Structure 1
Amino acid sequence: MKNAIIPILIIFITVTSLLYGTPEEKVSGAEYQVIPDEAIRLRILADSNDDAAQALKREVRDRVNAEITTWVESLTSIEAARILIQSRLGEIEEIVGETVADYGVKQSYQVDYGKSVKFPTKMYGSYIYPAGEYEAILITIGEGEGDNWWCVLFPPLCFLDFSNGASVAEAAETEDSKEEPEVQEQQEEEVEFFLVKLWNKLFS
């Protein structure tokens, strides 16, 4: 087994370097940032992947994020953040309910907060965010079977969209103007899928 791990690691490092560059070539913190050990995340699960469900998820994201960011921006300890978030979960639930109502749809939703919210392995740029259970506010819309959005709520990093590996503002500005070649995008997705599988195989 040990003899097999070394060549696999070499392949992993080589492919990662070719696709994303060496660690010195990583993009700046404005685009990517390592998540601290003590952090509180915000994760929003859409009902499905159809356009309406994803649009509702984004609206919930914008309204909830705008409110919570003002709560935590001046906090300096995770203990204070936990107390504040726990005491104001009802307000978050109200925001979600109002957003759903404004969309004119009859849609169930649920707001939870805990230390055992499951996250899948994600890799963006040169960073791998390992799968695991993390402390987070979890907003589930409907069946929660659509693509999710998440960010780090405390310390305040929700200006970064860790789901896409870029700042939310940058993603919004370039969404319509930036067009990636489909072939290149497909190749990158295939390589990322291979690397994530390899990561899970080595460290599961």
Structure 2
Amino acid sequence: MKKLKIAIAVGTLLAIVLTSSFSSFAAVCDAIREDTLRFHVLANSDSEADQALKLKVRDAVLKVTAADFEKANTKQEAEKAADAQLDKIRAAAEKTIRSEGYDYSVKVYRTRMYFATTRYPRAAGGSYTLPAGQYDAVRIEIGAAAGHNWFCVLFPQLCLPAAQSDATADALYTDEEKQVLESGYEVRFALVEWLSKGEKKNAEPEPTPTPTPTATPKAQLMEQAQNSKKR
């Protein structure tokens, strides 16, 4: 009986310690989400050409926004910068799409959406692990937006080359947040992801993009026009 009481006491104490530890971890994960602005690009389809185009759009957008986001010292400033740049982002995406010979539509907006647990390498070694959950994000939808996505972090600028990413993240995340970010993938991250999936199900569904016809390269459109004139 005495051994049973000791076992129960130890088990209770352990549960309290673990619960307290996880609660603290989860609280820091919440802070990380609130201090982070994500970037999400959806391709028109999963065709090889559309997936390649998605990456070209990504590169063009990151190039025109880098200087503006570099000036932001807080997530709130980054959001203001994003809102001010939506037209510039859309223009860069459209210019890239047209230069590649496509006429896909482009939607650019800021939203709040779910991201899974994600790792980003650090130049100094190791990686940052961002917890799963709902993040504010700048989202680009190309055409029907029915293809696989690409995502990263606009603030701090983890989309930049690793050396620059290290510097911006180190300067903008708190020591407590960096401790969690650098802890690597572990059981607590898995538990956070499991819990956040429940929140995702309860969240308001995102609007379904209106399908758009598959875009036709400009060269083919010109050929069709010429053929119709011949007729």
The separation in 2 between residues aligned to 1:149 and 1:138, in whole angstroms, is 10
Check whether the contact 1:43–1:139 (CA below 8 A) recurs between aligned residues. yes
More helix by share: 2
Matched, 1:47 2:44: yes
Deviation at 1:123, TM superposition (A): 5.0
Q: CA RMSD in A?
A: 3.2
- TM-score, normalization by structure 2: 0.51
Runs of 4+, deviation exceeding 3 Å: 122-129, 195-199, 201-204
The separation in 1 between residues aligned to 2:193 and 2:74, in whole angstroms, is 32
Partner of 2:135: 134
Specify the structure having the higher radius of gyration (Cα).
Answer: 2
Matches within 5 A, 1:93-112: 93-112=90-109
Percent of aligned pairs with the same amino acid: 29
Check whether the contact 1:117–1:138 (CA below 8 A) recurs between aligned residues. no
User: Counterpart of 1:83 in structure 2: which amino acid?
Assistant: K
Matched, 1:200 2:194: yes
Q: 2:92 aligns to what SS in structure 1?
A: helix
Deviation at 1:76, TM superposition (A): 1.1
Deviation at 1:36, TM superposition (A): 5.8
Count of residue pairs the alignment pairs up: 137
Check whether the contact 1:123–1:196 (CA below 8 A) recurs between aligned residues. no
Q: 1:42 aligns to what SS in structure 2?
A: strand
Deviations for 1:23-75, whole angstroms, at most 9, x for unmatched residues? xxxxxxxxxxxx66411111101111111001100000000011111111122
User: Counterpart of 1:146 in structure 2: which amino acid?
Assistant: G
Partner of 1:84: 81
Q: 2:50 aligns to what SS in structure 1?
A: helix
Match of 1:75 among 61, 72, 76: 72
Q: 1:153 aligns to what SS in structure 2?
A: strand
The separation in 1 between residues aligned to 2:196 and 2:61, in whole angstroms, is 37
Matched, 1:146 2:142: no
Deviation at 1:118, TM superposition (A): 3.2
Partner of 2:182: none
Check whether the contact 1:69–1:158 (CA below 8 A) recurs between aligned residues. no
User: Counterpart of 2:81 in structure 1: which amino acid?
Assistant: L
Partner of 2:114: 118
- Unaligned 5+ segments in structure 1 are 1-34, 161-166, 170-194
Larger CA deviation: 144-153 vs 59-68: 144-153
Q: 1:157 aligns to what SS in structure 2?
A: coil
